[in-house]
Amino acid sequence: MGIRVIGALAAVVSAAVHLYLWFDGVRDQGTVGQLFVVNVVAGAVIAVLVVAWRSWIPLLLLAGLGATTLLAFVIATTGGLFGIHTTWGTWYAWLAAISEVLAVVVAVAAASAEGWFASLRSLGAHSARRRTE
């Protein structure tokens, strides 16, 4: 199984957990309910893009999805997010968190394995040479 497929599965798992929670009552929680729908759609679209489009852009989106979703959850467990407070004490919280960490790790690993970071370094070196000339 390719590394991009693992990343796509991580996005799908996160989206599936958010869809489950939306049907379980989060849909009635105002802004958070709406953001769960955004997360579901974004996770599905990003999963397809990661597998179908061999570019650094889907990997950036995958890392962004994982990082922002996990950050929003951490905020909700500490001070609250849009008036909603939650805890780490459920299976779905841990499943989503693990999938989101995995999404970030896989996105970085795939970008590295595919040479996207090397491309950025060479672009930066080229720009630095042009400035000194």
Check pLDDT > 80 for residue 18.
yes
Minimal CA–CA distance to 49: which of 11, 104, 99, 1? Answer: 11
pLDDT of 121 > 80? The answer is no
User: Residue 65: which of 83, 40, 82 has the closest Cα?
Assistant: 40
Rounded Cα–Cα distance for residues 91 and 8 (Å): 21
Specify the pLDDT at position 12: 98
Among 19-28, 29-38, 94-103, 113-122, the range with the most confident prediction by mean pLDDT is 94-103
- What pLDDT sits at residue 132? 55
Residue 66 is predicted with a pLDDT of 98
Report angle CA 28, 34, 37 to the nearest 5 degrees. 110
Nearest to 100 by CA among 125, 131, 71: 71
The residues spanned by each domain of the chain are 3-132
Instruction: Grade residue 19 by pLDDT with cuts at 50, 70 and 90.
Output: very high
